[in-house]
Amino acid sequence: MRALIALALSLSLVLMSAAPVLAQKASPGTLTPPVTALLTAIRSADKGQLAISEEDGRFLRMLVATRGAKTILEIGGASGYSGIWLGLGARETGGKVVSIEYDPQRAKEAAANIRKAGLEDVVRVVHGDAFAEIPKLAGTFDFVFLDAWKPDYQKFFDMVFPRLTPGGVFTAHNVINKKSDMTPFLKTIETHPGLFTTIVSPGLEGISVSYKTR
């Protein structure tokens, strides 16, 4: 009997010691110290202030993960900062991100940064004019993040909305600090019968979040 009790106590101690290890096991989309350092470096080198804020990045990652998005489109990838956040969310869902960037140097930087983040199997950077590149992409989109030339927001919405899945989410950046540059777009997303929209401000620039109901 004493031997059985001793064995039971030993097993309990082993399980208790293993529990913290299991609890600390990183999920696929964990923000590791090397990725955190990379994100900080990208923002530090962002002289043109094209990267979104960290708060906005964390918000996008959360949206992708909670939506369970599988097909994610980013229009205006800059140097890959937002693409990394989207990719971290997609890593959790088993999804894929296509990030389109018009400027060749920034597209090159984005691809390099995505690779450094270990997300090259999740995020594909496409260099080119998004108006020309989007029609080349197959299928539909569960999630869209728009952060391109602001006066073109309405045109991009008109192009992409028919390919957004029911229950899909269309997000757009700078809808507070540059709202005067996108008045037609804002009116559309606020009045469209197939959407309901809210505007949030995790950082200072503002993000519109539109849910496709049908």
| 81 inside domain | yes
Instruction: Give the model confidence (pLDDT) of 47-62 as tens digits.
Output: 777 789 999 999 999 9
State yes or no: pLDDT of 20 exceeds 50.
Answer: no
Sorting pLDDT into bands at 50, 70 and 90, what band is 16? very low
Sorting pLDDT into bands at 50, 70 and 90, what band is 34? very high
| 73 inside domain | yes
* Residue 168 backbone class (left: φ over 0; alpha: ψ -120 to 50; beta: rest): beta
Task: Write out the two tokens for 139.
Answer: 């299928």
Distance CA 88, CA 31 (A): 8
Domain that holds residue 149: 29-212
| 91 inside domain | yes
Q: What is the 3-state secondary structure (H, E, C) of 170-214?
A: EEEECCCCCHHHCHHHHHHHHHCCCEEEEEECCCCCCEEEEEECC
What's the structural domain count of the chain?
Answer: 1
| 85 inside domain | yes
Which residues, in sequence order, are CB contacts of 104 under 8 Å at separation 6+? 127
Distance CA 166, CA 21 (A): 40
Distance CA 34, CA 188 (A): 40
The pLDDT of residue 133? 98
| 5 inside domain | no
| 123 inside domain | yes
- What CATH number is given to the structural domain containing 179? 3.40.50.150
| Stated pTM of the model | 0.86
- Tell me the pLDDT of the chain averaged across its residues: 88
List 40's β-bridge partners, or say none: none
| 66 inside domain | yes
- The candidate with the shortest Cα–Cα distance to 173, out of 137, 196, 148, is 148
Output phi, psi for 100, to 5 deg. Answer: -105, 130
The pLDDT of residue 26? 57
